[in-house]
Amino acid sequence: MNFKKTKIPLYIVATLLFGLKTYIVYRFLFSIELENSMQEFILFVNPFISAFLVFAISVWFKKEARQMKFIRYSALIGTIIIYFNLVFYRSFTDFITVPQLFQASNMGDLGGSILTLTKPYDILLIVDVLFIWYLSRKKTEVMTVNYPRNGKVFALAMSLMLLAGNFFLAEMERPQLFTRAFDREYIVKNIGLFNYHIYDIALHSKVKSQSVFADGNELPEIKNFIKTEVKSEEKSEMFAVAKDKNVIFISAESVQNFVINNKVNGEEITPFLNSLVKDEDTYYFDNFYHQTGQGKTSDSEFVMENSLYPLPSGAVFFTHGQNEYNALPKLLNQEGYYTSVLHANNKSFWNRDQMYDSLGYDHFYGEEAYEATEENSIGWGLKDKPFFEQSIKYLQAMDKPFYSKFITLTNHFPFDISKDDRSIEPYNSNSNTLNNYFPTVRYTDEAIEKFFQQLKDNGLYEDSIIIIMGDHYGISESHNKAMSQYLGKEEITPYDHIQLQEVPFFIHIPNNGNGKTMSQVAGQIDIKPTLLSLLGIKAENDIQFGNRLFIEDRKGYIAFRNGDYASEKYISTNDTCYNRLTGEVLSQAEEQDDEPSVEQDNPCTEISDQVNEELQYSDDIVYGDLFRFVNFDEK
């Protein structure tokens, strides 16, 4: 082809190259599920439509240099956006949201985690950018255009028509795409990554305005829902069983319940936690679910401290750290408890320095409180064993009674510890993440065992209750193939995925003698009311969505942030209703003639409606900062 005689607008070339690259990323690097040929077609065309919409703007620049500069920098910025989403997706199987952009301060602490998420072939993502850069510099005379005004208008009209066509197809394939329960994968699959980000910006702007216009009038409806659907008047036999006891709460990083009473390479994974299951002073909940969203550990803290849900986008700790809350530490302060968090990381990570003040904590023992060296640290910081060992002196010095939350670090992605710290060997699968997970879980198990002994040796054990909770999943869906191998399954189904969201939860009360395994469905939302009850504290005016775990009259389901749920009888996920105990499919939505999903005799529908209502009320409280209108001390 003779470049000197043939005019090939660079914005067309850039559209084709960038669109093809984006499609390849969608199809082969993201794990986007495609259910039919229409979804495949939409996924194929939407990156080209998005690219054309952006690059066609260049025709409005009169000067050649500005046209070329706009196109090459648009290609570069677009590639950066794709790559950031790709790295994020590899870790969380999710897409970046606007609130998470304000969490960029966390990125400096990710270190080896980010390096683990990069692949050698990622460098290929800039090939088209380099080619576009070359053409814009060396072939300017044949790559620029000088359309008359009607030609520019035509290019703009064409891009908008294509976008409208994309939206029309998306609405046909997924009716009420923008008004149904928010699912980021469906948005990206149907309108593309870049349009998703625009949608996310609009959504974030909308929710930010809620606090400005909120006036508290929403509260009576929320209180009535809690009174009729959540709250129970049943008295618990466990009320005040731990009155005036110290509370030691251990948030066990990334520990999932499937490791409990399980083995790898013939070795117990968590021998100490296994022993607690049988301990007569321990209550072990074997159907306990984490309920975190994008905020992961910070979300788990938010849920258990407030008995409210995390947000559908971003981390509450960042987006609403200045809100007023009626949190567990605040309530315990009013009862004479000294409250603290011990975590060998910096105070700005997850905006903890601000959020802990809002929650009512007296003190945060962060990284400056610990002696971290190259020998006793790895990955995210101080190893769990020296962390607990160095923390004992702080517990001894605290006013009694105290409530202290410990947040461990070692069992954190990418689950990398030295051979000297391993007590068991890694698993053998196609996933290094899963393989290395087992030795780091064992290390944390050993650290907690030593901590129990240290509490006994220092006279703190008898007057304390000790709670252990897995904060969130450690193994994401990206490792389903390896997980299915370990669990001896052909594949990890959506039903299995929900079951893998179970995390261990132990309540250890020394000298109680009535411990047992409790199998009712429970979750992090239930911790606050349960702990208050155990300590003999009545918070009658509190607004919370959890139940006390030692009563029978409970709502009977645990809601997940995306609207899925697990109840005593059912699991609802991906528009499918399962029998929770057997995994049998009871009802499945089917797409018929491009009409909305039709559900026949779905036993999950009633609870699903209540779950969505509950999540919405919790969001209203957080987005509107509604607790500023409540006097919780009122009798």
pLDDT at 104 over 60: no
Measured CA to CA, the distance from residue 541 to residue 145 in angstroms comes to 68
Question: What percent of the chain has a predicted confidence (pLDDT) above 90?
Answer: 70
Instruction: Locate 254 and state its tokens.
Output: 């990334």
**Per-residue pLDDT tens digits for 134-192:** 999 888 888 888 888 898 899 899 999 999 998 888 888 777 676 544 567 778 888 99
Region(s) of the chain under CATH 3.40.720.10: 232-558
Question: What percent of the chain has a predicted confidence (pLDDT) above 70?
Answer: 92
How many of the other CB atoms lie within 10 Å of CB of 610? 17
- Beta-strand pair 570-573/565-567: antiparallel
What residues are annotated to the active site? Answer: 297
Instruction: Locate 554 and state its tokens.
Output: 């409970």
When mean pLDDT is compared across 4-18, 444-458, 474-488, the lowest value belongs to: 4-18
Rounded to an integer, the average pLDDT of 536-545 is: 93
pLDDT at 435: 96
pLDDT at 76 over 50: yes
pLDDT at 145: 86
pLDDT at 600 over 90: no
Q: Which of 221, 262, 308 is CA-nearest to residue 483? A: 262
pLDDT at 594: 44
Measured CA to CA, the distance from residue 105 to residue 218 in angstroms comes to 34
Contact 408, 443 (CB under 8 A): no
pLDDT at 414: 86
Measured CA to CA, the distance from residue 398 to residue 386 in angstroms comes to 19
Q: Which fold has domain 232-558?
A: Alkaline Phosphatase, subunit A (3.40.720)
pLDDT at 347: 75
pLDDT at 603 over 90: yes
When mean pLDDT is compared across 59-68, 168-177, 600-609, the lowest value belongs to: 168-177
Measured CA to CA, the distance from residue 412 to residue 409 in angstroms comes to 6
pLDDT at 386: 97
When mean pLDDT is compared across 130-134, 314-318, 405-409, the lowest value belongs to: 314-318
DSSP 346: -
Measured CA to CA, the distance from residue 507 to residue 465 in angstroms comes to 7
**pLDDT tier at 595, thresholds 50, 70, 90:** very low
Measured CA to CA, the distance from residue 68 to residue 89 in angstroms comes to 32
CA distances from 97 to 51, 105, 176, 312, 522 (A): 20, 15, 21, 10, 29
How many of the other CB atoms lie within 10 Å of CB of 583? 13
Give the side-chain half-sphere CA count within 13 A for 604: 27
How many of the other CB atoms lie within 10 Å of CB of 93? 15
Per the prediction, the chain carries an average pLDDT of 90
pLDDT at 112: 56
**Per-residue pLDDT tens digits for 561-575:** 999 999 999 999 988
**Per-residue pLDDT tens digits for 378-432:** 877 899 999 999 999 999 999 999 999 999 999 998 898 999 999 999 999 999 9
- Backbone φ and ψ of 349, nearest 5°: -65, 130
**Per-residue pLDDT tens digits for 285-298:** 999 999 999 889 99
**pLDDT tier at 105, thresholds 50, 70, 90:** low
* The model's pTM: 0.77
pLDDT at 110: 53
Greater confidence (580 vs 107) lies with 580
pLDDT at 234: 93
Rounded to an integer, the average pLDDT of 509-517 is: 96
Q: What is the 3-state secondary structure (H, E, C) of 94-155?
A: CCCCHHHHCCHHHHHHCCHHHHHHCCHHHHHHHHHHHHHHHHHHHCHHHHCCCCCHHHHHHH
**Per-residue pLDDT tens digits for 324-379:** 999 999 999 999 999 999 999 877 677 788 899 999 999 999 989 999 898 998 87
pLDDT at 108 over 80: no
Paired with 577 in beta bridges are 572, 587
- Beta-strand pair 363-365/464-470: unpaired
Helix (H) or strand (E) holding 557: strand 557-559
pLDDT at 3 over 50: no
DSSP 502: B
Query: Residue 502, Cα to own-chain centre: how many angstroms?
Result: 14
For 382, residues 6+ apart whose C-beta sits below 8 A from its C-beta are 344, 367, 370, 372, 376, 390, 409
pLDDT at 535 over 70: yes
Instruction: Locate 224 and state its tokens.
Output: 């009535």
Contact 607, 578 (CB under 8 A): no
pLDDT at 465 over 60: yes
Helix (H) or strand (E) holding 588: strand 585-588
When mean pLDDT is compared across 172-181, 205-214, 464-473, the lowest value belongs to: 172-181
b/e string for 140-152 if b means 16 or more Cβ within 10 A?
A: eebbbbeeeeeeb
